[in-house]
Structure 1
Amino acid sequence: MDELRLAPNDHVLINALAAIFVSHVRPGPHEDMMIEIVRDAVKKANRQHLYVGPLVAAVEDFLNSSQAGLGANHAEYAVRVRLVAVLSWRAGHALDALRGAAA
């Protein structure tokens, strides 16, 4: 998979990714928590020169946590996490192209 490098201070993109995860993965009042999870995953991804994988892993960690309380729906949500990661990766490329055009 191509690289998707995000800046930890890119609040617009981080918040957008978090909103995507919240709406597709775990509907409910968890937006602040998801923003922090995504922001932390972005920092880890940049430190390790990894890209989409840490975002997926961070959300899967959340799904596996007792806070998520998903029970039998875990497999369905895990599939959605992967789908959203791919969509986010594509969105990242689109944003990179827009940034390049604006520069």
Structure 2
Amino acid sequence: GTVAGYPLKGGTINGWTYYEHQVTGQTTVAVSGTGNIDELRLYPKGAQMTTYTYTPLIGVTSSIDPKNNASYYEYDGLGRLQNIRDKDGNIVKHTDYHYQGQ
């Protein structure tokens, strides 16, 4: 496809290719190609965006901060947050729940 602007970053991780472009002087953006798009973000230059994914009746399952750091959220059988993992699967926060008096 054609991009009105210039590429800033690119790379492939786990079979997914990441592209980042700065688009200038455009009021519309058209995306074309033969591949699948997992996520498309459009926002003003200098803005910051955090993306969240959710599972219905559970809650947030992942987030990606403005610096592209991913966090993954795991819940116990009662739907309570149990672990937060980083992009490499390392547990960065773990919560245990205890009934009062235990």
Say yes or no: TM over 0.5: no
- Flag the structure with higher helix content: 1
- Flag the structure with higher strand content: 2
Structure of higher RCO (CA pairs closer than 8 Å, 6+ residues apart): 1
Larger Rg: 2
